[in-house]
Amino acid sequence: MSQVLTVLESASRRELQALAKELQLCRGNAKSDMIVSHAMRFLDEHPKDGEQRVLGLLGNSPPVAKKVAPKKQEEATAAASVKADAIVKEDVKSDKRQPEDEPESAEVVETKTPEGKKKKTPSNNKSPSVDASKEVKKVTLKDKKKTKQTAPTKATPTAASPAKSPKTSVKASPSTKKAPTSKTPPASVEKKNVAAPVGRKAEIKARKAVETLVKSMTDLTFAGDSRVRCSTTGHEMKADVDVINAYIHGKRYLKARNLKLSFAKYAPMFVDHPDESKTGLLWCNVTESAIARDEESVKKHVAAPKYQNQLPIWKEEEAAKKKAQEEQAQRRAARIEAARKRRLAEGGDGAAESERPAKRKRSAAAKSGK
């Protein structure tokens, strides 16, 4: 990863733009920092071959070489240290006989090992310093040889036969690339098929939610399959939970509903406003103030400390008023009864009847004189 970071930081803007275009990381004209960040994300998403592809496109190392690197080290340590000279000679001969693109045959690879074993004996007599230098040469030269072998063998198993031309390996590589593309359309079709029932379930669930909401409100009814009507205001709306909730909590509906509500249970403390034009207000006799014609507003007003402090005083005043009215009614009834008895005692019913109109005339004349 550190090697990729150094390569990305040292790359020119043109190379980074070509990398972004080839790997489809971002826009081609993006800034270098943006391309580097997208490249690091690409490396995290493709841990297997991401570094090889990035380094291969930037031209620093072949994309396949890093896959074989651990195997090369194991084979280099397992092989004998004296094979370096024989392998170099055989590589030169094979390069002269075969073109660079044509893979080496399995027979040539097999014949290399016995020749290397035969040359073990003279190399044992040499000093350890010479052996160490040959080991280094062997690792580097053997890496070059095996990079040539691994590329054609991974393309197709038939490429190892010497009789076939290099065109067969070239034709085999696009077939491997086309294989995954043919599998992608069925996957997308399956996703669409899976998404369809989920949408139907959501529609059914939304419909049930609308039905429960309409049933909970007495003044809401269905006007068709996709419309809901409010009997309080006559408003029609879409059969949707969000739309209905927005309407229910709106000022228009709350005002119309509160006008229909009866606040008789809050009487005599709360009555209609004395001004008939203010239909949206109530009058509180306890605090002598106007409040909104809403049940929640009434409850808040009742729970307020001002109302609680004034309520016992108002009750005492109301009780005193009621008592005074009762006493006044009793005094009036007593006066009427005393006047009737007096008339009966003076001269009977006839005299009482003849005198009563005169009293009325006299009282009327006295009022006019005043």
Burial 216-225 (b: 16+ CB within 10 A, else e): ebeebeeeee
| pLDDT at residue 314, rounded to an integer | 92
| pLDDT at residue 301, rounded to an integer | 92
Whether 353 has a pLDDT exceeding 70, the answer reads no
Q: Residues 314, 319, 325, 327: is their CA dihedral positive or negative? A: negative
The reply to whether 91 and 125 lie within a common domain is yes
pTM of the predicted model as reported, rounded to 2 decimal places: 0.31
Alpha-carbon gap, residue 55 to 3, rounded angstroms:
9
The reply to whether 249 and 274 lie within a common domain is no
| pLDDT at residue 69, rounded to an integer | 52
Whether 312 has a pLDDT exceeding 60, the answer reads yes
Number of domains in the chain: 4
| pLDDT at residue 155, rounded to an integer | 43
Which residues in 249-370 belong to E strands, given as ranges?
270-272, 281-284, 289-292
Whether 107 has a pLDDT exceeding 50, the answer reads no
| pLDDT at residue 62, rounded to an integer | 43
**What's the average model confidence in pLDDT over 112-141?**
47
Q: Which of 10, 34, 58 finishes a domain?
A: 58
Per residue in 205-214, pLDDT (tens digit) is 888 888 888 8
**What's the average model confidence in pLDDT over 281-297?**
89
Question: What letter does residue 105 receive in the DSSP assignment?
Answer: P
Residue 286 lies in a domain: yes
Q: Which domain holds residue 293?
A: 264-303
Q: What is the mean pLDDT of the chain?
A: 69
Residue 180 lies in a domain: no
Asked if residue 69 lies in contact with residue 63, where contact means CB atoms within 8 angstroms, the answer is no
Whether 283 has a pLDDT exceeding 70, the answer reads yes
Residue 360 lies in a domain: no
Residue with tokens 């009282």: 363
Comparing CA positions, the residue from 284, 315, 318, 314 lying closest to residue 301 is: 284
